[in-house]
Amino acid sequence: MYKAGIIGCGGRGRAHGQGYQLSPDVEIVACSDPVEDSRSGFVKQFGIDRSYDDYQKMLDEEDLDFVSVCTWIRLHKDMIVNAANSGIKAIHAEKPIAPTWGEARELYQACLDNDVLITFCHQRRFGAPFVKAKQLAHDGTIGELVRVEGNCPNMLDWGTHWFDMFLFYNNDQPADWVIGQVDWTSTKEVFGVPVAAGGVSWIRWKNGL
């Protein structure tokens, strides 16, 4: 039985909790959130005994196998680095990984240094409609797969899903080259992080797609 801790008891934290409840191999033993109402609501919904207003205290006091990091993106780096340094075996976090490339590299390196498995919520590749679409594209039912394209409201939130789906539909082929540009003439915020008004990218994979 794997012992799980939840960092962030809002909507995404509860979604992770519901997923873990469906697994006979996982027990949610503790949660943390600085907002008391969020903590108490999580405790009531999932029937756990221990909750913390400080995630570091939970990491220090609980013997956890893994944690879910379900907080806003700007909090990810410190939480994931500290979790990786705490002795746990794995971290599952909400996407996107980090607000900057530098922070993403730092948290990834912390996981490598501590032999911690880190995964992110790119769950769409497991959804039945997406799996079916991939099957139809690859078995010839709808013809030959020659191009994959998509669009989304912003690159930071939905964009991370679509980049993962492009890889999924193309059997996770490595890229040959990538070109991209963004429009910074205006900005907006997503999860408290400024993002470009728009952007476009092209990917050419090794298999020619």
Q: Structure pTM? A: 0.86
User: pLDDT tens-digit profile of 6-22?
Assistant: 999 999 999 999 999 99
Tell me what pLDDT residue 111 has: 97
Is it the case that residue 191 has pLDDT exceeding 80? no
Tell me what pLDDT residue 153 has: 80
**Which amino acid would we find at residue 15?**
A
Is it the case that residue 68 has pLDDT exceeding 80? yes
Q: How confident is residue 204, by pLDDT bands cut at 50, 70 and 90?
A: very high
Contact 57, 31 (CB under 8 A): no
Beta-carbon count within 10 A of 31 CB: 28
Q: 181-205 b/e with 16+ CB inside 10 Å = b? A: eeeeeeeeebbebebbeebeeebeb
The domain defined by 2-121 folds into: Rossmann fold (3.40.50)
**Range(s) within the chain of domains with CATH label 3.40.50.720:** 2-121
Tell me what pLDDT residue 173 has: 92
- Supply the mean pLDDT for the chain: 92
Tell me what pLDDT residue 123 has: 87
Range of weakest confidence among 27-36, 61-70, 99-108, 139-148: 139-148
User: Per-residue pLDDT averaged across 172-177, rounded?
Assistant: 93
Dihedral pair phi/psi, residue 194, rounded to 5°: -65, 135
Tell me what pLDDT residue 140 has: 85
Token output for 136: 């139809």
Is it the case that residue 187 has pLDDT exceeding 80? no
Q: How confident is residue 114, by pLDDT bands cut at 50, 70 and 90?
A: very high
